[in-house]
Structure 1
Amino acid sequence: MPLVDKPLEELLRYEGRNPRPDDFDAYWDRAIAEMRAVDPQVELVKADLDLPFAECYHLYFTGVRGARIHAKYIKPKQGAGPHPAVVQFHGYTGHSGDWADKLGYAALGYSLFSMDCRGQGGLSEDTGGVRGTTHHGHIIRGLNDHPDQLLFRHIFLDTAQLAGIAMSMPEVDPERVGAFGGSQGGALTIACAALEPRIKRLAPVFPFLSDYRRVWEMDLAENAYAELRTFFRHFDPQHRREDEIFTKLGYIDIQFLAERIQGEVMMGVGLMDKVCPPSTQFAAYNKITAPKSLEIYPDFGHENLPGFSDKTMKFMQGL
């Protein structure tokens, strides 16, 4: 079989290369405390979409550092008593997508919440100096500042805050909530379930934002990771701060958050992935101690994995 990374038997043992900050757990405990102190000021705005079986809303809430975060919210019209819900996350620089591709869960009788990441392609704000979008460069935002200023810290917290809001809805059973997404969305699925451990099932696909040093050593700081190369070229051209930089990135490395997950995991991986190398994904997967399973696609890269969306829906029917 062709390889872009380690053989599968080595991937299943791989533990990652990026350094873990010594105060990683205290860092995230402090971040969660900041999130819980925020008044979310949830606002629902009816969407201009008339459906016989579901209601569609724009949901806005206030996240850490005052950003207003947007999510699409679809809930079924029928059904007695609280029902399950799923939270969806999108790829890097993207947005929550169209309403139409989310209606299958409403047809199942589930609510669905699909978040726009702050400052990317949707309606959520990035309040780091400007209102609205900053679109790109989000991995390196804050690297020359205190670790509490890292932008992905705030985005990870947004995922957990949205999940908590979903669980607080009177129509949602808080014990039956799942999360899913691909690439950045896969990373955010892992972060969400780590920071909001009531998530019962999660289905990440080729998760991004993992094992940054491994990406660098594979010479794959391009495509989604290109800003790592840009940062070194502009701000540390001789790599004198390399250990410091990768250690700081460790605060927003999902492989270390994965240890906190309590829900059941089904992860999709393409072994020919040159955007998020398989070893970086396995660095996170191998640290999960909760029940877990893999769906492996040997000939596929960072692309649609045939059948995985159907597998995800079937998996979520177990909520």
Structure 2
Amino acid sequence: MKFVDEKVSDLESYEADITRQPDHWDFWEQTIQFARSKPLNEQLQKLDYPIKQIDVYDLSYHGFDETPIKAHYILPKNIVGKIPCLIFFHGYGGHKGSISDYMKWTIQGYAVIAVDARGHGETGDYSNYSTEEMGSWVTKGILNKEEYYYRKVYMDSVRAIDFACSREEVDSERIAIIGASFGGGITLAVAALDDRPKLAIADVPNMSNIELAIREKFEGSLTFVDRFLDRHPEHVERVFNTLSYFDNLNLCEQIKCKVRVSVGLKDPICPPKSIYGVYNQIKSEKSMIVYPFSEHHVHHVEHVDNMLQYVNENL
């Protein structure tokens, strides 16, 4: 289809303007050091689950602060040796879902950690925010990079890798991180901030080329930033300064692992150009799946089947 080919060609040639602040990497080095200075305090409670071919645990661990991050920890029964591990991050406003959602992975011998992000599902948020008037996570603490919500979420997610690497049954050389939308943005950020994952799969990722995304989006979490700035026009520069530290555009050059990204060319929430702005900056081995007529979803049967094959071939 000529019009699709032309659209993709334009996107592949797009070069976004980097908005990284001078202290960007110092900020993240200090953030990681702070997070890892705290004990993980992991707790596992075994569950009696109807599918008897797996061992299932309620997992709780401390993330950036003392907030207990809740997750499923799912293992195939009768493990021999070390096994690869998949860590899943869900969408904005979602949750980790049912244990049964992950059976296509455990049946193949993968360990699974499915995380409820801070403030989502069963995970609370012990942090205090000086700015949280909009009722949405994306604006919590948005005037201060030190207290911004995404600083904590990214570190909570890195700590999930800390947990995986602490387990004697997990092969720490074969860890994959996987997410879509909110979870896709987390996946790219974690891949940039932590070199332990071997594979990162980010479907329609948010927090990508944020200035462009805010300009082009029609729906989704970043609309709350619009509303905040409508209410507080005096804070425009300050807000975009904060967001720059959490924009995958300014993080992705540090990604070392193999990456697969997907995009819907009709996506009104995570505009394709914003995703390509990040993708085009990634220097590690990478691939892009393009859905010309898809909006903000990747629930096609073909996509799921391709992911199964991709993980099996690369992990």
Question: Normalising by structure 2, what TM-score?
Answer: 0.92
Q: Structure 1: 5+ residue runs without aligned partners?
A: none
1:36 — aligned with what? 36
Q: Map 1:58-97 onto structure 2 (within 5 A).
A: 58-97=58-97
**1:276 is aligned to 2:270:** yes
1:175 — aligned with what? 173
The alpha carbon displacement at 1:18 in A equals 6.3
**2:297 counterpart letter in structure 1:** E
1:13 — aligned with what? 13
1:147 — aligned with what? 145
2:123 — aligned with what? 124
Q: Secondary structure at the match of 1:45?
A: strand
**1:313 counterpart letter in structure 2:** L
**1:299 is aligned to 2:297:** no
Q: Secondary structure at the match of 2:139?
A: coil
**1:287 is aligned to 2:281:** yes
For residues 101-144 of structure 1, what are the alpha-carbon distances to aligned partners after superposition, in whole Å with 9 as ceiling and x for unaligned? 11111100010000000112x111211249xxx99522211122
1:137 — aligned with what? 136
1:258 — aligned with what? 252
CA contact (8 A) 1:206 1:268 kept: yes
Change (3 A) 1:210 1:270: same
For residues 26-48 of structure 1, what are the alpha-carbon distances to aligned partners after superposition, in whole Å with 9 as ceiling and x for unaligned? 11111110111010100001123
**1:262 counterpart letter in structure 2:** K
For residues 218-240 of structure 1, what are the alpha-carbon distances to aligned partners after superposition, in whole Å with 9 as ceiling and x for unaligned? 2x25332211111112222xxx4
Change (3 A) 1:136 1:86: farther
Q: Secondary structure at the match of 1:224?
A: coil
Query: Which residue of 294, 305, 310 corresponds with 1:310?
Result: 305
**1:294 counterpart letter in structure 2:** M
Q: Secondary structure at the match of 1:118?
A: coil
> Whole-Å Cα distance in 1 between the matches of residues 79 and 59 of structure 2?
22
For residues 62-96 of structure 1, what are the alpha-carbon distances to aligned partners after superposition, in whole Å with 9 as ceiling and x for unaligned? 11221110011101112310010100010001100
**1:244 is aligned to 2:238:** yes
**1:56 is aligned to 2:61:** no
> Whole-Å Cα distance in 1 between the matches of residues 102 and 222 of structure 2?
28
> Whole-Å Cα distance in 2 between the matches of residues 135 and 107 of structure 1?
42
2:105 — aligned with what? 105
Question: Normalising by structure 1, what TM-score?
Answer: 0.91
**1:223 is aligned to 2:220:** yes
Q: Secondary structure at the match of 2:213?
A: helix
> Whole-Å Cα distance in 1 between the matches of residues 78 and 128 of structure 2?
44
> Whole-Å Cα distance in 1 between the matches of residues 260 and 180 of structure 2?
12
> Whole-Å Cα distance in 2 between the matches of residues 189 and 265 of structure 1?
10
Q: Secondary structure at the match of 1:149?
A: coil
**1:229 counterpart letter in structure 2:** D
**2:289 counterpart letter in structure 1:** E
Give the share of equivalent positions with the same residue, in percent: 29
The alpha carbon displacement at 1:268 in A equals 1.2
CA contact (8 A) 1:198 1:262 kept: no
Change (3 A) 1:136 1:60: farther
Instruction: Work out the number of aligned pairs and report it.
Output: 309
Instruction: Answer with 289-298 or 307-316: which moved more.
Output: 307-316
Instruction: Answer with 101-110 or 50-59: which moved more.
Output: 50-59
The alpha carbon displacement at 1:241 in A equals 3.8
> Whole-Å Cα distance in 1 between the matches of residues 64 and 134 of structure 2?
18
**2:74 counterpart letter in structure 1:** I
The alpha carbon displacement at 1:16 in A equals 2.5
> Whole-Å Cα distance in 2 between the matches of residues 34 and 135 of structure 1?
28
- Where relative contact order (Cα < 8 A, 6+ residues apart) is larger, the structure is 1
Q: Structure 2: 5+ residue runs without aligned partners?
A: none
